[in-house]
Structure 1
Amino acid sequence: MSSFLSKFILFVVLMVPFISVAQALTGKVLDQATNLPVADASVFIENSSTGVVTDQNGYFSIPLIPEKEVTVIISALGYQYHLIENARPENNRIVYLTVDENQMEEMIIDKRFFTREELLKCFKTFFVGATQNAKKTQIKNEDDIHLYYDGENFKLTAWADKPIKVYNSNLGYEIDFHLAEFEVKFRRLSIIPTDNEYSLLYGYTFFKDIGNHKNRIIKNRKEVYQNSPANFFRSLAEHALSEHHFLLYANSLPIEETQYFSIHTTPAGYSINVLKKPVKQLPSIVMKVDNKDVTVAGKSEEQPFHVMNTKTNATSVLYIGADAISIDKRGNLLKANQVFFGGFFGDLKVADMLPVDYSE
């Protein structure tokens, strides 16, 4: 995997604006095997600050908004996650949870490699991040995080049976991060962050606002959004890159976005259609065949886009894996696997995440 993919984060995004009681998803959560109600299960809109808990009879009612693509997550200790994609207002929906029989116990850490303290420090770098906001972010339940280092393949993996409790004082959020997948692949027997070949972080987040509308918190959130991939994609869709201090590059040269992208409005926001991608022509190779020189034409190799923030001088890498990118009106990706990030955007971890219902 190329070096510019050494760090990336998947942004899973949906919108949660103004709602009414009539625009709600109501139902009951039951155990698949026993048909008994599951109490205290978390029911929340993915990556938002909207969520509820089931009552003793397993009932829940969560507000939605029509014509918006949202995913509702149902999570309970000891059960597999249940996802309701593209959720719509509905009454009396029955949700069955399956017992998670594959919950992993913590493996014994081979002391020939690294201690738990060393692995936990490495985990936090790739989970929380290393920005100024990360320095003010704490994990409240570190003991619930299981860590394992595969010395043969140089991989650090992590999992948690409970949501990871994250306290971000700079942005004024408490976050329940339901970790689905975490992996860091190193180039050698190492846990030094700069030795990583790639990293993968994926999960479901629920935000609780504890900012109390303090001016400092409001300022920090605004700054994070302005420098975020969401603001870049929104600026791209609204043809306002220069207005928001972004420059787009292909093959190391600044480009006009209309050469590479076309924009279409959708009920959820925008579709950014990729007209073409940057390519690099590899040089031809001369080979000897039957004592004769034969020229083999070089192949074309796809290249990533680069983004520069002219206000901060931060440079980011975009690897677009789809013919069209779906975003909401705030610029949040609606399909997480459409873009991989490197550079500055790739360094943004949980400490620099905002809920998708954030508004300035």
Structure 2
Amino acid sequence: MKFFFASSAFLLCYLLHAQEIKGKIVDDKDNSLSGATIYFDGSTVGTLSRGDGTFAIEYKEQSNLTLVIRFLGFKTYYLPNPDPKSTYEITLTPKENQLDEVVLDASPFTREEMLRAFKRDFLGRTKAGRRASILNEDDIRFYYDIEEKSLYASARQPIEVINKELGYKVEFDLVDFISDFYRVSLDKDDQKTNYFGGTSFFENIAEEDRRIKKKRLKAYKGSSLHFFKSLCSGQLEEDKFQLFHKSFQVSASSVFEIKKVKRKVRSSQVLKAETYEDSYEITILGNDFENLNIDSTSLKKKFQKKVSLLLKNNRSDITFKTKVFYVDDYGNHTQISTILFSGDMSKGRLGNMLPTNYQPHD
């Protein structure tokens, strides 16, 4: 699931045998919590806790896997890379009762104007984004900082989105949203950057017929999932991606070194065991800062590599601020906050977002 957009979100290959993550949800007084929502971030895999607070959820081993536990009135709990060999007892703590902040400085924009700008940057400007609707708009709060020329948004409850085009209902637990502008404006032509992050859960609300599958495949084509999966399988040329660096078309091997590895995702001091998952390790070759005629030692120590992609004349730019990251068999990547997208790949936002366990040939 960051961006640009983020979702925080991001995954790997199926196990040969189905496994489960098991546990129990209690409050800070050790009372069982029935009906807590439990899901893998960015996926269609979720469940509810039983009457005694226990739960079991199907486990599919993937990179950056995060189990999210949510219950009304309590702080959301995040369990990264859960271990199917463990049984978890998870204690949720109550949220503090906070009244809405009173903003003394009057905003230069109406709520309707800020909501319109939010939906443009949150849902996206594609057909799917324009057709998507938010069911609980009243739960979203806005603040415009005149000095920073920035629009901020937060939500009391997860934002419920109906994506008619792709046939999903999405619950997005918004953690951050900020749009920065060059001047005091909400106009997209004045926008510098947009970022939002949070966790998401997808629910199918349409029959997965040929029409829906075709629309989902269209959203997948040219996405970051498509690019990274194509890159790792050595199919960039076959999938019609063209890769450029500094305006010159280059081969993937001149920019990326790709190795299939076993990546350690968790350690258990109790069991004296470590768990490894198959993934692709990608190393970026070269550093754009190395060739700059600068005296700044601190800048030379930083890493940045920017590449451009063309797919059917649609351009996307990817800026890597990390030298090494990992990709799973679905095309989900790690280091989300240091791999930035602009251009065509960034337009879809939530409207074109697919579950992290999406299979293009389902």
SS in 2 for 1:231: helix
How far apart in 2 are the matches of 1:307 and 1:196? 22
Measure, in 2, the Cα distance between the counterparts of 1:306 and 1:102.
Answer: 47
For 1:13, the equivalent position in structure 2 comes to: 10
2:25 alignment partner in structure 1: 29
Q: Distance in 1 between matches of 2:316 and 2:63?
A: 29
Please tell me whether residue 57 in structure 1 is matched to residue 52 in structure 2: yes
CA–CA distance in structure 2, aligned partners of residues 72 and 194 of structure 1: 38
Residue 134 (structure 2) pairs with residue 139 (structure 1): yes
- Residues 88 and 224 of structure 1: CA distance in aligned 2, closer, same or farther (over 3 Å): same
Deviations 1:64-104 (A, max 9, x none): 13576521011122222211111121454110112222756
Q: Indicate how the Cα distance of structure 1 residues 108 and 44 shifts in structure 2: closer, same or farther if over 3 A, else same.
A: same
Rounded Cα–Cα distance in structure 2 between residues aligned with 1:197 and 1:322: 22
Q: In 1, Cα distance between the equivalents of 2:335 and 2:4?
A: 15
Q: Measured at CA, do residues 142 and 50 of structure 1 come closer, stay the same or move farther in structure 2, by a change above 3 Å?
A: same
Question: How many angstroms does 1:108 deviate by?
Answer: 4.7
Is structure 2 residue 88 aligned with structure 1 residue 88? Answer: no
What secondary structure is seen at the aligned counterpart in 1 of 2:356? coil
Amino acid aligned to 1:270:
Y
* CA distance 1:176–1:275, change in 2 (3 Å): same
**Greater displacement, 148-157 / 108-117:** 108-117
CA distance 1:109–1:314, shift in 2 (3 Å): farther
1:215–1:48 Cα change, 3 Å? same
Displacement of 1:118 in angstroms is: 0.4
CA-CA distance at 1:57 after TM superposition: 2.5
- Matched AA of 1:276: G
Alignment of 1:274 onto 2:258? no
Alignment check: 8 A CA contact 1:69 1:87 kept:
no
* Contiguous gaps of at least 5 residues in structure 2: 262-276
Once the two structures are superposed, the pairs formed by residues 59-78 of structure 1 within 5 Å of their partners are 59-66=54-61, 69-78=64-73
Aligned to 2:274: none
Query: How far, CA to CA, are the matches of 2:289 and 2:127 in structure 1?
Result: 35
8 Å Cα contact 1:325-1:333 kept in structure 2: yes
Q: Which residue of 2 aligns with 1:122?
A: 117
Matched, 1:323 2:323: yes
Which moved further from structure 2: 270-279 or 241-250? Answer: 270-279
Indicate if the aligned counterparts of 2:304 and 2:321 stay in contact, CA closer than 8 A.
no
Residue type matched to 1:345 in 2?
Answer: M
Partners of 2:15 and 2:61 within 8 A in 1: no
Alpha-carbon distance change, 342 to 150 in structure 1, aligned in 2, over 3 angstroms:
same
CA contact (8 A) 1:229 1:345 kept: yes
Cα distance in 1 between the residues matched to 2:242 and 2:348: 19
User: After TM superposition, which residue ranges in structure 1, 4 or more long, deviate above 4 angstroms?
Assistant: 15-21, 66-69, 106-112, 279-285, 299-303
Query: How far apart in 1 are the matches of 2:101 and 2:174?
Result: 15
Aligned to 2:336: 336
Is the 8 Å Cα contact of residues 66 and 89 (structure 1) preserved in structure 2? no
1:176 aligns with 2:186: no
Equivalent residue for 2:246, pick from 247, 251, 256: 251
> Corresponding residue for 2:210?
215
Structure 1 residue 205: deviation in Å? 0.5
Aligned partner (choices 237, 254, 259) of residue 264 of structure 1: 259
Distance in 2 of aligned mates of 1:320 and 1:66 = 26
| Structure 1 residue identity aligned to 2:308 | H
CA 1:103–1:58: 2 relative to 1, 3 Å: farther
- Give a deviation string over 1:226-274, Cα, whole Å, max 9, x none: 1111111111112211111111111111111111211111343311111
Structure 1 counterpart of 2:108, from 113, 117, 140: 113
Give me the TM-score of the superposition, normalised by structure 2.
0.86
Choose the corresponding residue for 1:304, options 306, 319, 325: 306
Instruction: Tell me the amino acid that sits aligned with residue 281 of structure 2.
Output: S
Deviates more, 1:121-130 or 1:317-326: 317-326
Q: Tell me how far apart the structure 2 counterparts of residues 72 and 57 of structure 1 sit (CA, whole Å).
A: 20
**Offset at residue 109 of structure 1 (A):** 8.2
| Alignment coverage as a number of residue pairs | 338
Q: CA deviation at 1:188?
A: 1.2
Give me the whole-angstrom Cα distance separating, in 2, the residues matched to 1:137 and 1:344: 19
**Mean Cα displacement is larger for which, 182-191 or 272-281?**
272-281
Aligned partners of 2:62 and 2:348: how far apart in 1? 30
Rounded Cα–Cα distance in structure 2 between residues aligned with 1:55 and 1:284 = 61
Alpha carbons 2:14, 2:62 under 8 Å: kept: no
Query: Which secondary structure state, in structure 2, belongs to the residue aligned with residue 242 of structure 1?
Result: coil
Name the CA distance, whole Å, in 1 between partners of 2:315 and 2:62. 35
Other structure's SS at 1:49 match? coil
Aligned to 1:3: none
State whether residues 181 and 200 of structure 1, in contact with CA within 8 Å, keep that contact through their aligned partners in structure 2: yes
Deviation at 1:329, TM superposition (A): 0.6
TM-score by length of 1: 0.86
Contact persistence 1:263–1:271 (CA under 8 A): yes
Do the aligned residues in 2 keep the contact of 1:19 with 1:63 (CA within 8 Å)?
no
The residue aligned with 1:293 is none
**Do the aligned residues in 1 keep the contact of 2:107 with 2:143 (CA within 8 Å)?**
no
Q: Matches of 2:107 and 2:88 in 1, distance apart? A: 52
Kept in 2, the 8 Å contact 1:69–1:268? The answer is: no
Shift of 1:338: 3.6
Cα distance between partner residues in 2 of 1:134 and 1:174: 13
Shift of the alpha carbon at 1:17?
A: 4.5
Structure 1 runs not aligned, ≥5 long: 1-6, 286-295
